[in-house]
Structure formats: structure tokens, C-alpha cells
Amino acid sequence: MAGSSLPGLTRRGLLGAFAATMVVAAPTTSQAFGFLRGAGDVRRIKMYSGRTGESLDTIYWIEGEYIPEGLREINHFMRDWRTSDTVQMDPRTIDIMAASHRLMDVSEPYMLLSGYRSPKTNAMLRSRSGGVARNSLHMVGQAADLRLKSRSVSQMARAAEACSSGGVGRYSRSNFVHMDCGPVRSWGG
């Protein structure tokens, strides 16, 4: 068999077909975690807030364990800046954000537009805009609205969608992407 060959079949073509089969056969329920496994044993998130002037660059996962101090920093940073209320952010959302960031291969930190929103803030925003959900995942610490100067809304959304781990909203006119750890779905343009 070593000397036989099939017309049009190369080693590269065979390996490509095998790789495509593996991708199709891979489970899709939690792709963000798979992308991060390939990133090594350390997970880091970098963000800044134009609202508060604060920056965050923290390691929140090492060798299979979430780091409580890192998660506390994230919870404080992603607080409702209007009320200073905090909530425990769902680490799955942070994982999706980190996996998306890694897929885009950027060093620039995310600009956080909205993390946790108190019910009071959500109601106020809802009264001003039809694009704010009544039962927003922001109110339970499971969503973030993010922007990158170096990447388009479309590029950011494609990276988040590749994780197949939650909701991805494109807000092209406002130049941001919504990422959450709720049901897998996408919307916007």
C-alpha cells in the first residue's frame, strides 16, 4: 500500500479532510472552554472603562482553578458604574470574552461599555432605548458589552460566535458587541 496512490489525493488533502471531520464532530456546547484549554494553564482578561477611567489586567484562572482574588477584581470592575452596585459575574461570560480576545489575536484591552446593570439602571436604559431587554442577562452578571478599536463589530462577533457558548449581539451603529453565557444565539447587524 505504501507505493499506491489515488488520483487527486495528497497527504495534505487527507489531513485537511481529517481535520475538518474533527471540527464538525467536536461538541459545540462549550467551545469557549475548549479554545481556552489550548491557551495554556493561565487565563487573563484585560479591559478599561471610559466611564470610570479604570483599567483591569488580571489573571483569573490558573491550572484548572478560578482565582477568587481575580474574580473579585473583575466583579468590582464590571460593576454598575451608575449605582456602584456589584454582583458576582458569571465566570463563563469572562471565559467567552477571554476566548474571543485570544481568537482575534490582539493585545489591546477591551473597552467595557456595560457589565452588570442593576434593575434600576436597566429600567432607565430600557425607557430610553428599544434595544434593552426587560430581563437582560446584564442584571444577573451574565453579559458584557464590549468594543475594540483595532477590530470591527463583525470581527468581534465572529470570534464570539466561534465559541458557540452564548449570545452574541452585533450593534454596528453603536460600535459594540454584546457577549453573554446564556443560550447560543445571535442578533443584530
Report if residue 63 sits inside a domain. Answer: yes
Q: What is the residue range of 136's domain?
A: 30-188
Domain presence at residue 15: no
pLDDT reported for residue 34: 58
CATH at 160: 3.30.1380.10
Question: pLDDT digit string (tens) for 17-54?
Answer: 434 333 333 333 455 555 555 445 889 999 999 999 99
Query: Does residue 3 sit within a domain?
Result: no
Asked, for residue 13, whether it belongs to a domain, the answer is no
Is there a domain that residue 82 lies in?
A: yes
167-171 β-sheet, strand order: 65-66, 55-62, 42-48, 110-114, 143-147, 176-180, 167-171, 185-188
Bridge-based pairing of strands 55-62 and 65-66 is antiparallel
User: What pTM was computed for the model?
Assistant: 0.79
**Has residue 51 been placed in a domain?**
yes
Please state the domain count of the chain: 1
pLDDT digits (tens, 9 = 90+) for 137-166: 999 999 999 999 999 999 999 999 999 999
Span 159-172, pLDDT tens digits: 999 999 999 999 99
